[in-house]
Structure formats: C-alpha cells, structure tokens
Structure 1
Amino acid sequence: MKKLIAGALLLVGMTGFAQEKVSLQDRADNEKFTAEQRNELQLKKLTLELDLTASQQKEMSKIIAEQNSKREAAKADFKSTKTSNKKLTADERFVMKNKMLDEKIAMKEKVKKVLTPEQVEKWEKMKKDRRKHFRKDLKKFEGKQIEKK
C-alpha cells in the first residue's frame, strides 16, 4: 500500500514538472519588429478592419507613428525609473497618469477627425475587444508558472 501511494505521488510530481513553462521572454522574442514594421502592420490591420481609404491610411499612419513613438519613450522612462529603484511620489504618479490620459484624449480626437462615424464606432469596439482578450491572456498566465530569462 505504501509503495502504491509513493508511486502515485511520484507520478503526480513528475507530471507537474513536465509541464511546459511559459516564458514571457520567448513570447516577446517572437515579435521583435522594427518600429516601422510595427506601424505598418498596425496600419494594415486597421485598413482591413475599418476599410480605410488611401487618404485615411496616410493620416492614420502619421497618428500611429506618433502614438508608438510616445509609447516607446514612456516605456524607456518607466524602465529607467524601475532600474534606478526610485519610487514615484503620489504627485509624480498623478502627473504621469494625467499626461497619459490627456494623450489618449488627443489621440481619440485625431482619430475622430480622420475616420467616419461608423469607422470610429468599429474602432472603439476593436479597442474594447482587445482589452477583453488581454485580460483573458493575463488570467491564463496567472495560473501558470512564469519564468524569466
């Protein structure tokens, strides 16, 4: 009986270690594109989803490039703050979040000027769907062991 229990525990333990570990670094390595490539892919995706005209594509490419450059700058700033182990004060966090929300509002206004009302509606729906999928993916990762390289 003891051997049977020990064997069952050993089997369960081995299968637990045999599971594939999810690595966020591997996922990020698969999608290393240049800024121009990311912008182009994002524009083509929007063109397919929203049926953009040529003039709309030109305007949206400018908006996308501007948005992505701001995002990269914010990412770099965040990483430098994180690596210096500097904690932001409540006022600094408020200023940062306020700036981010102002940029989102400005982005939305720019997009509304370029797109038709029907396209804006589709674009908003796409954003909501993307948030839902992101949350689902996040929940999947919470249940699995995540290793860092």
Structure 2
Amino acid sequence: MKKLIIAALLVASVSTFAQDRKERPQRGEMGNMTPEQRAERRVERMTKDLNLDAKQQEQLKQMYADEAKEREAMMADMKNKKDKSKEKAGDQKKGMQDHMKASEEKMKAILTPEQFTKWKSNQDKMRERMQQRMSERQGGMGMDDNGPRGGGDMDN
C-alpha cells in the first residue's frame, strides 16, 4: 500500500513538471531576444491567427523593425534626459497615444477589413488581461472613480 501511494505521488509530481509551455516564452527568454526575433515571432503569431499572406507578412516585419528602431531611439533619449517632471510624463503619455494611433492606421492599411477587426479584438482582449494582471499585482488597492479604494475615512 505504501509503495502504491509513493508511486502515485511520484507520477503526479513528474507529470506536473513535464508540462511544457512552448507556445509562450518565459519572460527571461523574451528579454534575450533581438528586436528582429521579437518581430518575427509576432508576425508568425499573427499569420496563424489572421491567415496573413506573404506580402502582409513582409509589410508587418518592416513595420515592426521600424518601430523597434524608434523605440530604441526614444529609450536612449529618455536616458539622456534627467528631468522627469509630471509635465514630461504627460507629454510621454500623449506621444505614446499618438504612436498607438499611427500604428493602428498602418495596420488598417496592411490588413483586410476582416483581419483588422479580428486584430483589434485581440488587442482589446490583451489590454484587458494586462489591466487585470496589473490590478492583481497591486492587490486591489488601485484607484476607482471615487478616489483610492479601500481607504475609508481617515478622520475617524
């Protein structure tokens, strides 16, 4: 009986560790990838999800390569600037919003209307998942429409 229990525990523990997550790389692996490798992976995933043709794949690779160069330039510029005032943060947020709109317009030009609709839906789902993870990391102590959550009256 003891051997049976030990064997069952051994099988359960081995099967738990044997599950491989190849479909999504770990964070450490993503950090070691070059921008070209990341772009290639994104295009592969989009090709699978949206059924892209060869021309669309090349256009997306070029778009992602250009974005990577812009991002590297922005990061270098941000490192050079020491002043991080709130005004700068507002400018950066607006710049990111403008960049996202421009990227969306490029995607609209590359993809068919059906592909674009599906891509947009996938982007919205991803954004929701990210927001959910961020709120979980903060322990639910984020902000709601009426100010800080969970604080209550401090005057009592």
Normalising to structure 2: TM-score of the pair? 0.62
* Equivalent residue in structure 2 for 1:130, among 126, 130, 133: 126
Which residue is 2:63 aligned to?
A: 63
Deviations 1:24-79 (A, max 9, x none): xxx64332211111110011111111110001111111111122332333344445
* Equivalent residue in structure 1 for 2:111, among 104, 110, 115: 115
Q: 1:80 to 1:36 in 2, by over 3 A?
A: same
* Separation of aligned partners in 2, 1:28 and 1:142: 20
Q: 1:99 to 1:125 in 2, by over 3 A?
A: same
* Mapping 1:1-149, distance limit 5 Å: 28-31=27-30, 32-81=32-81, 84=82, 86-90=83-87, 92-143=88-139
Identity across aligned pairs (percent)? 31
Aligned residue pairs: how many? Answer: 113
Indicate the structure with greater helix content: 1
* Separation of aligned partners in 2, 1:111 and 1:60: 8
Query: What is the Cα-based RMSD across aligned positions, in Å?
Result: 2.2
Normalising to structure 1: TM-score of the pair? 0.64
How far does residue 107 in structure 1 lie from its aligned partner after superposition?
1.4
Unaligned runs of 5+ in 2: 1-25, 140-156
